[in-house]
A and B are shown apart, each in its own frame.
Chain A
Amino acid sequence: MQTQLALTAALLGMCLAGTALAGPQPGDLRVTDPAQIRALGFDPATDEVFLAAPVDDRALLAARLARGDASPQAPNPDVDPIWTSVVGTDFRFNRETVPYTFVSNMSLTCSATGEGYSAYANIEFPNDHRITWMDVWAVDNSTTSGVRVSLWEICQRVDNPDPSLRTVTRISPIIDTGTADAPDAVWLNAHVGPDRWVHAPTCSYLLRADLDCANSAVRLQKVRVLWDYD
């Protein structure tokens, strides 16, 4: 009897683990304020939007360095073997009226005035791998403007296009160069949490960059997302 109960519990555990491959995870915060959902670029009438809980990645970074990385910027292929990168020119602003420049070093700038604008880039990962770190290279020479980058996951049923059945999750923290800071060329990174698994049949992934338009003073150069087999 005890053996059967143990098997039952194990079986249910495996099933539940299988269902947790993609979409919002325990601890993610559901956004319920319609204005906030709209500000995030989604429709409160149809989209379930979640924000990943903050991750204290100091221990993860220490563990990564302990495993043999030369530095977080130069990962050891034996530790974090594979990554996907997009450069500034892979991004596109959210409407055609936003003036932009792709300067010669492949970075993205925004030359509009006034409010900030969002640019998006598709990013792909192979199925059933775990997303780990997001690295951002940018230039910020403005004391009033900056760039903020985040990674999003949109999961949708294979057999139903109804958007009310989708879930949208910001799976990374926002990497921010700061509006009051002018750090010049920067490299910033953050961990997306321990259990962000790619489920390619149902989920798509995109990077969002919110730029305060400051011409070449603020530039987004590259975003690299690491993933592993663990």
Chain B
Amino acid sequence: MTRTPFILALLACAFLSSASDAADYPNRDFRVITGVDGKPARSDDSYSYASGNYRCTNTSTRATPHVVRYPFNLPEGTSVRYVSVYGRRTSDATPVTLRLMQVCQSQTDVDSTSTVLATRTPLGNADGYFISSMEFSPSPETLDCRAWVEASFDISTMACNADKASIQRVTLETEPADRIFRGTFSVNVDYTLP
């Protein structure tokens, strides 16, 4: 009988932990890029912000898609587990394609090479909202490469409707190389050099 409050507290604790959506992720870092931080690829990519989201607002069709990019940097040695894009695309809206991209250029080369690491066509729920996750393997090379997430709105046959095609945020789930000593010891800097 006297254990009842304690058991109830344990159950309440489990409920609150799950309800708060505050799960613990061992050895994981999360970086969230708000939708409004998107960089449109062209000066005639029309956009607007609403509720922290990036919205495609091109009112005319054209052959070239409207592309918005979310570049990111990661510390050397950090592994990327998942890249998740949150957004909306209703069934009657402009088609959207998500890509994980990387461009690399060696230090002795003048040409760069872009690579599509992953591609997704987001599947929205009844209201068009989606979460689309992409795996990122191998992890980006920080020395010669730069990575980004991009959303491509195909406006070749249909103009954008601002309320129906948007990007809410991009989440990077990463794993640091060394949780304990990260940032503490310089492993790539030789202080003996002048």
Contacts and interface: CB of A to CB of B under 8 A. Distances in A.
A179 interface: no
A12 B13 contact: yes
Contacts of A41: 49-52
Contact of B30 (A92, A118, A127): A127
Contacts of B88: 161
A200 B51 contact: no
Contact of B34 (A11, A43, A159, A206): A206
B191 interface: no
What does DSSP make chain B's interface, helix, strand, loop or mixed?
Answer: mixed
Given A95-B48, A124-B31, A156 B168 contact: yes
A95 B6 contact: no
Contacts of B37: 92, 120-122, 206
B103 interface: no
Interface string A115-141: 000101110101100000000000000
A96 B36 contact: no
Nearest to A94: B49
B20 A19 contact: yes
Contact of A162 (B36, B51, B129): B129
Contacts of A47: 51
B12 interface: yes
A42 B6 contact: no
B32 A18 contact: no
Contacts of A15: 9, 12-13, 16-17
Interface string B1-13: 0110110111011
Q: By CB atoms of chain A within 10 A, which of B8, B51, B168 has the most?
A: B51
Nearest to B19: A19
A202 B133 CA distance: 15
A16 interface: yes
Contact of B52 (A16, A202, A204): A204
22 contacts: A5-B5, A14-B13, A15-B13, A15-B16, A21-B20, A92-B36, A94-B36, A94-B48, A94-B49, A97-B46, A120-B34, A124-B33, A127-B30, A154-B34, A157-B21, A159-B131, A161-B129, A163-B129, A204-B34, A204-B169, A206-B37, A206-B52
Interface of A: 1, 4-5, 7-8, 11-12, 14-16, 18-19, 21-22, 41-43, 46-47, 92, 94-97, 118, 120-122, 124, 126-127, 152, 154, 156-163, 168, 199-206
* 3 smallest beta-carbon distances between A and B, as pairs: A122-B37, A19-B20, A204-B32
